[in-house]
Structures are given as structure tokens and as C-alpha cells.
Amino acid sequence: MKKTSLAPRIAAIALCIFQLAILQAASAALFKTEGDRMFAAYFKHQTDQLAAKSLSEIKTIEDWKSRKDQYRRQMHEMLGLDPFPKRTALKATVTGKLQHAEFEVWKVHFQSKPGLYVTANLYVPKGIKKPAPTILYVCGHGRVKKDGVSFGNKVHYQHHGVWFARNGYVCLVIDTLQLGEIEGIHHGTYHHDMWWWNSRGYSSAAVEAWNCIRALDYLETLKFVDKNRFGVTGRSGGGAYSWWISVLDERIKASAPVAGIADLKNHVYAGFPNSGRLAHGVVEGHCDCMFHVNTYRWDFGQVAALVAPRPLLILNTDDDRIFPLDGVTRVFNGARKIYDLHGARDKLGLVIIPGGHKDTQPLRVPAFNWFNRHLKGKETPITLTAEKLFEPEQLRVFKKLPADEINTKIQESFTQLAPAKQKVGKDTIALLRKKTFGGWPEKDVPLNVKQDVFFEDCGFVVEKYKFDSQGKIRLSVFLSYLKGQKKPEKIVLEVADGEWDWKQEEEPKEGVLYVTFAPRGAGETALSDDKTHRTQTRRRFMLLGQTLAGMQVWDVRRCVQMLRELGYDCPVTLSGEGDAASLVSLAALYEKVETVRVKNYPKDDKSQPDYLNISRIVTPAQVLDLVRQRSKVVNR
């Protein structure tokens, strides 16, 4: 977060508050340690709440049937597929074929959207006499690259296609966006500071899900494919994509995701007991492609449940550090509840094999058996091992990459954004509350306001208060005014979004109460300076259906409420610069304030803080339009 000056921005008051801060903590490092501890407690509290809530409203099969379609629509939305993209021409092209005694391999590409290329290998058994059961194999993070040329992760996972073809299945192995022959981006928030992905409701998981849907569309065009017997499998990242396509598309009749899911407790605060972090979580081991944008605040058991009652086999190892066993088991038990309601317990299975995060034969065999049972109706002994037979160069689809590809910039256009010209009003504010700020508490906790310090110096009075913004989040606020001043006529509340940075900009005035406030993640609750830790903390918020900035807006609202509880009922001016200008503007949509003062207000969604889905609803300029309908806006 960039540094921002705090009001009252009066040198004397600034000195008083700074001295008070020194008295309150021996060093800034102590602030940050306390901030990290607060966030750790908060993440645990929030995750436990979501885990307890997950599927709690489902008691009967009627409950499930009445909600299932709504859940599936929500999943489409959280994967950026609402509105549903147009099914444009696939323009499928076979660039060559490899021959083997038992099967042939087609080198294929198709366009899931115009210019969004999917490279793949299609394994076709020889001697097919009738349409065959068909497997969509989705690849994990297995990079195959030589001399700067990417051959696609389909090459790394070719042994799966080989096994299926040798056993009478057609198998399409598709490359992923990042590790395909055309290398796109999976790690937008993880490595590239593309926090605007959250604002646009975009995750690289969305592209993988869409490519899987279009892969099934392609398979349906092939006469030797039985479109009524589609299965899907994949491991690690491919395990996650197996979940997406199984939930979104009921053409999938049997699923066997391998090492592709755990629950929120694992992802957010548990799973790396030796990591040294105050807030553990295997989210740190996963790129953005593993997660939907959690607008509706699901735990992952709800994802698994949406496959019911179709055959689903969950496979994992007992020592997988990025898909821990306890979380996998909790996901399984959550899904079992729904399978039991369907009377379909035999359609759900769990296989745990000794070992770590590896692609091993003991993990493959149960998956192969599962498809034999549910797609062929028979289980025969598994006598062949899955083995790699081809060199990367043999499986390459493109000799020259297409000039019209949009793979490398698909994040710019995949989700539908708010039009630059649209009417905004009360309905817009309500929509923001639902889609952007759905992670705000449903019920306010008591503010529990306590005066911490009373300090007089330099002709000024400085009071420090603490209050509860929500469960596990306790924040400080400084009130300052001229000594001897009676009840104020006006409040100027300046919000910081970064470190304490004092500047003189105005003289103190009689009748004005100056309030300085740093929301969570700034000031006393600042996180450590370690960039990786800050990044992973912000990613945890996304998993909870929040963003750090979105919850900072909530903190600003609660600060206004705290002032009212102290008895100050005079007009309020909210003031902020840069990121804080955005925070105060959005807070003003939900709290009654007279004036909003902004400086260096963000011009677009890439320069503003990230708020979940906001760019699909309003532009930054339209937020100010909404504020003007309620308050006076002043540009400093």
C-alpha cells in the first residue's frame, strides 16, 4: 500500500499523535506483529463461520432440489461465465497424426473464443466399431519447455492418454492457459500484482472451465465419440479443473479428480504447520487457477456436492502438503451428505494412497477402475501401466504460433465489465452490497468503544479510542481538537491507507473535531514488510469472498458509527487521498456524511484498490456519481 498523509495534517497535532504512537508501541515492528496476529485470528474466525454455514440449510432432498439450480448459476457467475459466453465457431484443426500399433494421436487445436486457442492431443483407439466412452483429461502444472519453446503440459501427462486409448477410450488431453504452447497467465495476483482481477470478477480458473466446456463441444462433433459417456479426470491443477467442468456441465457422467481440492480451513489458515506463518494456509502453494471468485462465500464441500448424484471418485495421498488429508476428508463428508439424500452413496468414493504430491500408478489404478465401472459397466483387471511413449516434439501442435492469439491477454477481456455510460442509483448501491461487499458482516457486533489514552500538549487535546469493527478486528482512532473547545460543529475524518505520514495542510479551527483513522492493514495493524506475506494475506481475503480494501471500507463505516455512539451528531466530512479516496467514497454510499473530499482519486479499475466484482457493476467515475447523489464531493 502506498503512503498517505493523515488529517488533521497540522504539525502540532501530528506531533502529539506521533508522540502518542511512540508511547503505545516500542517500534513500528510491534505494530506489524500485532497486525499479523489480528489477521491470523480473523481468518480463523471467518473460516470457521463459513465452514459451519456450508450446506447447513440442506436437510432434505427437496431442500437440495429447490436450490441446486441456483447454486449452479452462482458457480457459473463465480467463474466469470454469467452471462454465458457465446459459443462461437471452434475452427478445430488437426495439424498432424502420430501412429501407434494400438491407437493414433491427433495433434489438434480449436478456439474456445475467437483467438483463444486450445492446443490438445486426441488419443483414438484403432479398430473402433461403435462410439466409444471418452475421457477429457485436464492437465496440472507440468511444464515441458525446451530452448524457449513450450510444448504444453499435455506432453507431461501423455501417459494418461496412452493408457485410456489402449483400454478402448477416446481421450482428449488439453493444455492449460499458462502451460500450453501459447503461454498465458495463471498467477495474476500471486506473482504479477494484478489485483484488478478481483475487481473484474476474473480468475484464470474461469478460462480453464470455459476451455473444458468447449472441449466437450469439440468431442461431440466426432462420430467415434459416445457423447453420453463423457468422463473427466486430472491431477493437481487438473484435479481442480475436473471439479469446475463436473459442476458446470452435466454432460460429464463420471469424475475422478486427483489431488485437486481441500477446504477453506486448509487453504486459509491450516495446512503448513511448519511454515512459520502466523496465518497458515495452503493457498500459498496454489496459483489463481485453483480458485473461483468466491462471491457467494462457499466452502469447497459445496462445490463437490454439485456433482451429485453422478459418479464421483475423490483421490488423494495421505501426505500431500498442498491438499492436506483432513481437508480432503471434510470435503468428502460434505459431499456424502448430499449423495446420501439422493440414495446414491455407491456413486461417491474416496481413495487415499500413501505418499506426497506425486502422480503415481497406485493413484491411477482406482481412477481407471472407476471409469471402467461407470462408463463401460464392467471392471476388468488393470494389466497395463500408464507410460510415456512420445518425445515432446512429436506431440507439438503448432510449428508457428498464431498471430491472432489472445491467450496472452485474455484476462483483459474475459469477463463482462460495466458500460462506461450507464445510469447509476439506489439499485446500483444495492447490487454493490450484494456482489462486492457480500463479505461484510450480516449483523453488527457491538462497537465496544473504549478510551485508550487522553493526551494534552501544544494547546491541543488528543484522545485515542479503540473499537471493534467486527469479530477479531479491533482498531484505533485518534480524535484531536483545540484545548477548551466545546461541542464541535463539524467532524473531519481523514482515512489513511498506508503508513503514518504526517504533513501540514491546514490550520486547526475552532469547532472542528479532527479524526485520524487507519483501517485494518494500515497504521497500528500494518502487516509485515515481507511482500510475499502481504500478497498471500490479500489472497486469503479473496477466498473468503472479500478483499482487504473491501473490508477497509467496512472499517471506515464503523468509524463513522463509533463517532455517533460517542455522541457526535454534527456533519461529517470524509477525506482520503489515493487509495483512501476510493475507500471514503464507497463508505459514503452506506453512511450518512455531508461531504467527501478526495485527492488523487483513482482513474480506472487498475489503479483503484481491488473490490470483488466492482468493475462488472460500476466504474470508479460512476462511484463518484453515486456519491454526488447523496453528498457533496470536493476534489482537493
The CATH number covering residue 249 comes to 3.40.50.1820
Domain count, the chain: 2
Assess if residue 362 is contained within a domain.
yes
The pLDDT of residue 3 is: 44
Q: Is residue 328 part of a domain?
A: yes
Convert the pLDDT of each residue in 60-69 to its tens digit: 999 999 999 9
- Give domain status of residue 634, yes or no: no
Average pLDDT over residues 467-478: 97
Give the full edge-to-edge strand order of the sheet including 632-635: 450-457, 460-470, 473-482, 512-517, 490-495, 572-577, 595-599, 632-635
What's the confidence (pLDDT) of residue 457? 83
Do 332 and 481 belong together in one domain? no
Q: Are residues 129 and 176 in the same domain?
A: yes
Q: What is the C-alpha to C-alpha distance for residues 260 and 285, in angstroms, rounded to an integer?
A: 12
In a domain, 58, yes or no: no
CATH number at residue 579: 3.40.50
Residue with cell string 495433434: 107
**% pLDDT > 70, the chain:** 92
Residue 488 preceded by cis peptide, ω within 30: no
Domain of residue 140, residue span? 84-263+299-412
**CA distances in angstroms from 250 to 178, 255, 306, listed in the order given:** 26, 11, 10
Residue 281 lies in a domain: no
Exposed / middle / buried, residue 210 (Cβ in 10 Å: 0-12, 13-18, 19+): buried
Q: What is the pLDDT of residue 16?
A: 52
Measuring CA to CA, which residue among 597, 598, 589, 595 is closest to residue 623? 589
Q: Please indicate whether residue 39 or residue 4 has the higher confidence score (pLDDT).
A: 39
Do both 259 and 357 map to the same domain? Answer: yes
Q: What is the pLDDT of residues 573-631, one digit of tens each?
A: 999 999 999 999 999 999 999 999 999 999 999 999 999 999 999 999 999 999 999 99
Q: Are 394 and 537 in the same domain? A: no
Cα–Cα distance measured from residue 239 to residue 357, given in angstroms and rounded to the nearest whole number: 12
